[in-house]
Structure 1
Amino acid sequence: MSIPRFAARRPPRRRASAKEFVYNTLRHSILHLHLKPGTKMSEQEISEEFKVSRTPVREVFVHLHQDGLVEIYPQRGTYVSLINLESMEEGRWVREIVETAVVEEAAGRLSDDHIRELEYNLAAQEQCCQNQDYLRMLALDDEFHAAIFRACGKQLTYDMVKQLNLDFYRVRVLRLSHDSNWEQILRQHQAVFQALREGKAQEARKIMTDHLRMIMVEEDELLAQYPGYFVQASRVGTAKGWSL
């Protein structure tokens, strides 16, 4: 196994401990599918790549396992976790319940700073759509939603919801290789922002609900194209689809 040197928009920075840098880099690489589901991770190669001893690498593996991003098998090794559709859908469901409540609370409460932040974000999203820069669009999508949580003092809630949606995030990255209607996503973001600025709480809630349920993807489509990336359906239930 080799650690890919990926071109990240906002790569982890070596400004903390070596262990934290290794953790952040590997986590980013797993979430963005540079380390694909099922990939075996070599403790020795990682320690050589990052010029650290094997002890912090083992500690990083434990942390990533706690995140649900790797599986550790005694005598076999450490592997990037397969995507679990059942846990992914549960995380998405939690996100919908929480985020629709948050936008309802945020309606009419946007400060001038929050308005400027969201306007700048939407302008950047529009530019990404024009340039077909969908990786950057994905990052801006996350930043847009995070800004709404911050607008009503719910940053901690956002962080918890985000942690529950790591498999959901990997599927979103995987979907970048398919046709995605990013222009429609942008229009929905703009509509959410308009409703929030005008204090229309119920309208904002409805648009956000529609937004989070917008794209229904049949399970068989991605399972057929990437069969090695997912926990087998017989082990996770019989869900037929999910939304992005």
Structure 2
Amino acid sequence: MKKANLTHAFDMMQHAFDMMQHETPMGRPMASWRIYDDLRQRILSLELPPGTALTRADLARKYDVSQTPLRDAMQRLDQDGLIRIYPQSKTLVTRINLAQIRQALFLRQALESEVVMKLTKERTASTVARLREIIALQREVATDKTQLRRFQELDEYFHFVMFEGAGHPNLHALLRSQTGDMDRVRRLQVHAEGRLRLILQGHERIVAAIENGDVDQAVREIRAHTHKPDDWADEYRALYKDYFT
């Protein structure tokens, strides 16, 4: 894929994903959702690392909002487990919880197994085409060490498109609200071509099973793709002790 086409295709997908992130149930962006998503991304990217103190007055000035939308956004982040609000005291970015990661992985496997079952039975050509396009974009950036974040964003978009294709985008939002700790560990990873190659191969096998209408194979592939051993995050905890509980 030519560089200009790659940039255009990625920008289109990024715009679609951004719209999904900022969309409210009523279909209109609101200040609280905008603040929530920006703070969430800053936490997940480790711009705001675990243990960071958040001051409401400073945040209200940064986002140029009143306390009401800010309070709503922070309550959602608290529900996601990304911050902890101590009334009349302080608000801190939470440390990464390994037990929460294990629960998120269990939920992810359960939901995505059902999603690929539905996709395989329906075999919607447009969804398969979109998934293949994302794989092509991932392949283009996989060898560039400066593009790890973009590869990870495309990876998340791949899974969102599966949920959307199965008619359950809101379930992806539910899953996304539970995977904050897992996403933060992913941001601690460094570029490794071998690991990215395995992710690409997993995506290709999932799509092939869906396209072939092989339900059992599709479920096996998504479970293999989303499986992580219990000690998956241990190497990162050893390197970043202050980030973990």
TM-score above 0.5, yes or no: yes
Q: In the alignment, which residue of structure 2 is the partner of 1:101?
A: 114
| Equivalent residue, structure 2, for 1:185 | 199
Q: Give 1:235's aligned residue.
A: none
Q: How does 1:1-244 map to 2 (within 5 A)?
A: 16-132=29-145, 133-176=147-190, 181-213=195-227, 217-231=231-245
Distance change in 2, residues 1:77/1:214 (3 Å): closer
Give the % identical residues: 28
Secondary structure of 1:78 counterpart = strand
Supply the AA of the counterpart residue of 1:138: Q
Per-residue deviation, 1:148: 1.7
Q: Which has the higher helix share?
A: 2
Q: CA deviation at 1:178?
A: 7.0
Q: Distance in 2 between matches of 1:56 and 1:151?
A: 32
Counterparts of 1:144 and 1:62, CA distance in 2: 29
Secondary structure (helix, strand or coil) at the match of 1:82 reads coil
Cα distance in structure 2, aligned partners of 1:174 and 1:206? 28
Moved more, 214-223 or 195-204: 214-223
Q: How far 1:183 sits from its partner (Å)? A: 0.9
Q: Give distance in 2, aligned partners of 1:32 and 1:45.
A: 20
Gaps of 5+ in 2: 1-13, 23-27
Aligned partners of 1:37 and 1:162: how far apart in 2? 19
Asked if the contact 1:109/1:151 (under 8 Å) is kept, the reply is: no
Q: 1:61 to 1:135 in 2, by over 3 A?
A: same
CA 1:214–1:127: 2 relative to 1, 3 Å: farther
Q: Is the 8 A contact 1:41 1:80 kept in 2?
A: yes
Kept after mapping to 1: 8 A contact 2:185/2:233 = no
Does the residue aligned with 1:40 lie in a helix, a strand or coil? coil
**CA 1:215 to 1:141, structure 2 compared with 1: closer, same or farther past 3 Å?**
farther
Kindly tell me: are residues 179 and 125 of structure 1, through their superposed partners in 2, closer, same or farther at Cα, counting changes over 3 Å? closer
Give 1:169 shift: 1.6
Q: Secondary structure at the match of 2:85?
A: strand
Query: Structure 1's 70 and 180: CA in aligned 2 closer, same or farther, altered over 3 A?
Result: farther
SS for the counterpart of 2:49 is coil
Q: Is the 8 A contact 1:118 1:144 kept in 2?
A: yes
Displacement, 1:217? 4.3
Per-residue deviation at 1:58? 3.3
CA distance in 2, matches of 1:86, 1:215: 13
Q: TM-score with structure 2 length normalisation?
A: 0.80
Question: Size of the alignment, in residue pairs?
Answer: 223
Opposite residue 66 of structure 1, the aligned amino acid is: Q
Asked if 1 retains the 8 angstrom alpha-carbon contact of 2:185 and 2:236, the reply is no
